[in-house]
Amino acid sequence: MSEKMTAKQYAEKLLYTPEYAADKQAEVKAAAAAFAEGYKTFLDAAKTEREAVTVSEKMLKEAGYQLFDPKKVYAPGDKIYFIQGHKAVVAATIGTKSFEEGFRLAIAHIDCPRLDLRPNPLYQDEHFSYFRTHYYGGIRKYQWATIPLAIHGVFTRADGSVVNFAVGEDEQDPVFCITDLLPHLGAEQNERKLSEGIKAEELNVLLGSDPVEEEDVKEAVKLNTMILLHEKYGITERDFTRAEIEVVPAHKARDVGFDRSLVGGYGHDDRVDAYPALMAEIETKNPVRTTICVLTDKEEIGSDGVTGMQSMYVFHFMQQLCRAAGQDDIIAFQHSVCLSADVTAAYDPTWASAFEKQNGTYAGRGVAIFKYTGARGKSAASDANAELVGDVTRLLDANKVAWQIGELGRLDLGGGGTIAKYVANRGIPVLDIGVPVLSMHAPFEVIHKTDLYMAYRTFSVFCQQAD
Ligand code: MN
Ligand code: MN
């Protein structure tokens, strides 16, 4: 007969108290700090989805990945990849078990909220030249004024050639900006609602103020700007109509805090999941089940389009693998598991009323699991089964991966969704996981290094699970 337990023993045995993963584990802190160095480099090199594709493809090629051939039958251990429409990456390592025994998918996104140039962007007002923008994704517009901005993109020229460019990243480059009113003249603007502090039509990017020297030229500043662009990139004003150009914050990723425990930067949503998912995929050797890492596009505007997760591109890839191997793709889908990797809001003590403390996700408590997302009564949520949450959390526990579980914030305040439901639509069980972010969707977002590292550990153990 065991003796009666004390209340303290009961509390330890029965109650659940989430912990800060690295507080008592110096080795976790050190490993997370080391992993974050590679991540910051990735962030700085990949501010747009196209750049994230370029950097990822380079990493994949260096790791021996071959371009996918739909007609080829692959052997266990083979590493393959393809690029979807210049803006999404799919990489896979063939497993020892058949495809019919299921794929292991990890899907993150590489598009970020930003300002896109409009099709006819260039204009002059008084003695300044500007670009007109159309914002992409959910931004708080007032956050984009009076910060240094860089311009990244691609022109397709009249002769069919393509030119990629980025201005504002090199220390020697000029930067750009959106201007705001001075407080001395702010009385009327101060009465606006915060959501209209800066309006969409006021997100105009300042480009220059020098005119061409000849007299009697209309819009001489605009023309001078165009001449500079022509000299550098060989483009005309008409080439803006066949371009994709994004305005992003010019700053680099930096450690935040005296203790350097956090990373601040642009685009944590969702590179903070994309980078660890890609690293885990690259490091996976001879997995039991075929692993697929997807870095997708268009998540921030609803996953539509040929590079978004509502497109079939990932599922076609799985089907083509099955067909070449003479296997049934429906059976393969049914036996697959997907981690839908996307960021969530980190509980912010300064904005505590936006959260429900007990179900918040906290920077430093490890990778955050979301059984469901959605808004107003879980609307539009892909609600993962308890059994799947159980399988994944037991796997994480067995491998000492720190995880937490929660919801986005206070009920009925807002909400959000992920790509999970588009995977679920294909009959593939899927669970949302990701890194909590402070100031999500802002030009300078903040994450905790421990959570980044635990996301990486999550993808690693998921890819390499024995069975
Ligand atoms: Mn996201
Ligand atoms: Mn987002």
**Residue indicated by tokens 């956050």:** 143
Summary mean pLDDT of the chain: 96
Rounded to 10 degrees, what is the CA torsion of 339, 345, 347, 348? 160
Distance 388 CA to ligand 2 centre (A): 24
Distance 101 CA to ligand 2 centre (A): 32
Q: Which ligand is nearest to the CA of 108?
A: 1
CA distance 229 to 244: 15
pLDDT range class, residue 22, cuts 50, 70, 90: confident
Work out the average pLDDT over 427-439. Answer: 97
Half-sphere exposure of 398 (CA within 13 A, CB side): 10
* Cβ atoms < 10 Å from Cβ of 335: 17
Report pLDDT for 315: 98
Distance 40 CA to ligand 1 centre (A): 18
Secondary structure (DSSP) of 147-165:
S-EEEEEEEE-TTS-EEEE
Work out the average pLDDT over 52-80. Answer: 98
Q: Which ligand is nearest to the CA of 434?
A: 1
Distance 73 CA to ligand 1 centre (A): 34
What is the enclosing helix (H) or strand (E) of 293?
A: strand 290-296
Distance 183 CA to ligand 2 centre (A): 31
Distance 58 CA to ligand 1 centre (A): 23
Work out the average pLDDT over 268-287. Answer: 98
Distance 331 CA to ligand 1 centre (A): 30
Q: Which residues on neighbouring strands pair with residue 205, listed in sequence order?
A: 131
Report pLDDT for 4: 87
Distance 418 CA to ligand 2 centre (A): 8
Q: Which ligand is nearest to the CA of 435?
A: 1
Q: Which ligand is nearest to the CA of 432?
A: 1
CA distance 276 to 255: 18
Q: How many helices and strands, by DSSP H and E, does the chain display? A: 11, 20
Report pLDDT for 2: 64
Q: Flag whether pLDDT at 234 surpasses 70.
A: yes
Distance 400 CA to ligand 1 centre (A): 26
Distance 230 CA to ligand 2 centre (A): 35
Distance 71 CA to ligand 1 centre (A): 34
Q: Which ligand is nearest to the CA of 295?
A: 1
Q: Which ligand is nearest to the CA of 138?
A: 2
CB–CB of 136/238 below 8 Å? no
Report pLDDT for 199: 98
Q: Which ligand is nearest to the CA of 272?
A: 1
What is the enclosing helix (H) or strand (E) of 35?
A: helix 26-45
Q: Which ligand is nearest to the CA of 419?
A: 1
Distance 442 CA to ligand 2 centre (A): 10
Report pLDDT for 466: 86
Q: What's the pLDDT tens digit per position in 413-429?
A: 988 889 999 999 999 99
Report pLDDT for 174: 97
Q: What's the pLDDT tens digit per position in 367-422?
A: 999 999 989 898 988 999 999 999 999 999 999 999 999 999 999 898 888 999 99
Q: Flag whether pLDDT at 216 surpasses 90.
A: no
Q: Flag whether pLDDT at 1 surpasses 80.
A: no
Distance 173 CA to ligand 2 centre (A): 29
| pTM score over 0.95 | yes
CB–CB of 279/37 below 8 Å? no
Q: Characterize the bridge pairing of strands 254-256 and 66-67.
A: unpaired
Distance 265 CA to ligand 1 centre (A): 15
